[in-house]
């Protein structure tokens, strides 16, 4: 009998932040207890910071084709198993990890193992990937990954796969989790109810990757999936949708039907939820414990400059209060350093956090991701601090490195004020108070704030080093 084709699906770690905080300048403590403690904290962060399995690869690995066996390799937890015999390796490429993905692909191909690249970076910049792959998959691969696997079995893998239209999400495609090592993850119950975003925020490219029209799955398919998943993992569910309240009528019907299942869940929403009282009540009753909301900016001029106009600055505080009053804790994500921001902005952010009692503030700087409108604009204005023509020079970090010059504030003053802001927002006293005052999941809120106290210390040290390096250059 012919041996099954062995296919590995690879997910890569990012340089820092969600995949474990580490300095961009190497470990400052070469050995000893401090180093051991730093490693311990790093691993804990990895876990609490949503070390969740990659849904994209779960979907692809669930596609069964005769003669093919798929394995998921999550390189956040293991080295690539070069000792096994692979017939094809698929790598999910995100822009900040492109150089890492290309290095692995090149190494595999030198060993005559064929490589297929897919994911957001391939969809946006296929030309940069071509020389590193035997096969490129453009866009959402839910349908044509089966074609690629069948072609592999037939010995006829094509150089490129792309569809004329995105997949019809109304079709039922059951997702399996059998290939996941559950204990690695914070939770394995990851669900997506739809794709696409009608908004035009210039720092995001979800509307380019998944289109402007919101495409939803069938409610009964999602309810089935929730029921099936809760049979063997009773941890918290994560709905990865960019805005779970993007279509309030759909969301209300879905979560109304989830109430009897008694799950606990968290997800990502827009603050407009504070003005959707019936939906808010349904979310709370269906087990919503926490939501991440992208506040981005409380400065109307910055919101306008970056096309974040879907909800008004003046309504943000009231909405946040309403959501917290319903018992849902909030992670509110800010970006300091947008085009309308000044040195007065940090004071306004501090007052806003104190006033709304946000449970976990996220104080980010702008990451101009190649392919976004803001990247193009900053490039034209000569404000990028990395080489815009080198697609691999862009990387993701957690507030540890400035990638551009803010419009109204010179870089050294900006770094000083950003560091001062994160020092004031994150300290042990604030972490304890937020943990106690949170409307729910108090322990998680406390942990997040403590970890951010650690992470932003790292951010301040690295930013200082970046400035020194720039001054010495």
| Interface residues toward ligand B12, by CB under 6 A | 9, 12-14, 17-19, 50, 52, 54-56, 59-60, 90-92, 94-96, 116, 118-121, 124, 137, 140-142, 145, 192, 204-206, 210, 240, 242, 369, 396
Spell out the alpha helix ranges (H) of 161-218.
206-210
Nearest to ligand B12 of 285, 377 (CB atom): 377
Which residue is at the shortest CB distance from ligand B12?
Answer: 118
- Per DSSP, the three-state class of 13 is coil
Q: Which two tokens stand for residue 128?
A: 């940069």
User: Of 244, 234, 256, which Cα lies nearest the Cα of 191?
Assistant: 244
Closest separation in Å from C-beta 281 to ligand B12:
25
B/e letters for 158-185, b = 16+ CB within 10 Å, e = fewer, are: eeebeeeebbebeeeeebebebbeeebb
Q: Which is nearer to ligand B12, 144 or 414 (CB)?
A: 144
The sign one gets for the Cα dihedral 76, 80, 84, 88 is positive
User: Considering beta carbons, is residue 92 or 392 the nearer one to ligand B12?
Assistant: 92
Which of 136, 415 has the CB closer to ligand B12?
A: 136
Give the nearest distance from C-beta 109 to ligand B12 in angstroms. 15
Q: Among residues 145 and 418, whose Cβ is nearest to ligand B12?
A: 145
CB of 325 to ligand B12, least distance (A): 26
Shortest distance, position 277 Cβ to ligand B12, whole Å: 26
Q: Long-range contacts for 151-157 (Cβ within 8 Å, ≥24 apart)? A: 152/5, 152/7, 152/68, 152/87, 152/88, 153/5, 153/65, 153/66, 153/67, 153/68, 157/88, 157/114, 157/116
Nearest CA to 292 out of 328, 331, 236 is that of 331
Nearer to ligand B12, 120 or 332 (CB): 120
- Residue closer to ligand B12 by CB (options 205, 319) is 205
Q: What is the C-alpha separation between 372 and 294, in angstroms, rounded?
A: 17
Cβ 152 to ligand B12, closest distance in Å?
12
CB of 125 to ligand B12, least distance (A): 9
CB of 96 to ligand B12, least distance (A): 5
DSSP code of residue 387: -
Residue 11: its H or E element:
strand 5-11
């Amino acid at each position: 009998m012919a041996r099954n084709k062995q296919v590995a699906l690879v997910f890569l770690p990012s340089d820092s932040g969600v995949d474990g905080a580490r300095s961009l300048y190497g470990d400052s403590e070469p050995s000893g207890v401090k180093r051991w403690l730093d490693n311990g904290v790093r691993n804990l962060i990895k876990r609490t910071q949503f070390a969740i399995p990659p849904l994209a690869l779960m979907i692809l690995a669930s596609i069964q084709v005769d003669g093919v066996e798929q394995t998921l390799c999550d390189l956040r937890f293991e080295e690539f198993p070069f000792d096994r015999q692979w017939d094809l390796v698929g790598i999910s490429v995100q822009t900040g990890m492109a150089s890492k993905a290309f290095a692995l692909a090149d190494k595999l191909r030198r060993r005559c193992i064929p490589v297929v690249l897919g994911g957001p970076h391939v969809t946006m910049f296929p030309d940069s990937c071509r020389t590193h792959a035997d096969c490129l998959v453009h866009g959402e691969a839910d349908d044509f990954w089966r074609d690629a696997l069948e072609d592999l079995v037939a010995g006829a893998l094509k150089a490129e796969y792309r569809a004329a239209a995105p997949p019809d999400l109304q079709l039922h495609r059951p997702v399996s989790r059998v290939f996941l090592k559950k204990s690695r993850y914070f939770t394995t119950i990851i669900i997506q109810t739809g794709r696409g975003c009608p908004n035009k925020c210039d720092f995001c490219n979800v509307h380019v990757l998944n289109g402007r029209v919101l495409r939803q799955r069938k409610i009964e398919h999602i309810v089935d999936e929730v029921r099936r998943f809760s049979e063997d993992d009773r941890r918290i569910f994560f709905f990865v949708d960019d805005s779970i309240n993007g279509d309030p009528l759909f969301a209300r019907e879905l979560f109304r039907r989830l109430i009897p299942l008694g799950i606990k869940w968290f997800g990502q929403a827009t603050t407009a939820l504070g003005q959707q009282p019936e939906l808010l009540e349904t979310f709370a009753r269906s087990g919503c414990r926490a939501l991440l909301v992208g506040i981005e900016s409380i400065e109307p001029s910055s919101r306008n400059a970056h096309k974040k106009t879907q909800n008004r600055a003046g309504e943000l505080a009231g909405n946040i209060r309403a959501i917290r009053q319903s018992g849902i804790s909030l992670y509110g994500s800010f970006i300091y350093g947008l085009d309308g921001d000044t040195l007065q902005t940090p004071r306004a952010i501090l007052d806003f956090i104190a006033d709304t009692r946000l449970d976990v503030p996220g104080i980010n700087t702008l990451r101009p991701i190649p392919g976004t409108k803001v990247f193009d604009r900053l490039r034209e204005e000569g404000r990028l601090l990395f080489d815009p023509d080198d697609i691999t020079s862009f990387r993701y970090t957690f507030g540890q490195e400035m990638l551009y010059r803010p419009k109204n504030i010179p870089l050294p003053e900006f770094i000083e004020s950003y560091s001062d802001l994160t020092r004031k927002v994150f300290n042990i006293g604030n972490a304890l108070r937020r943990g106690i005052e949170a409307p729910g999941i108090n322990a998680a809120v406390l942990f997040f704030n403590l970890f951010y106290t650690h992470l932003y210390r790292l951010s301040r040290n690295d930013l200082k080093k970046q400035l020194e390096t720039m001054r010495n250059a």
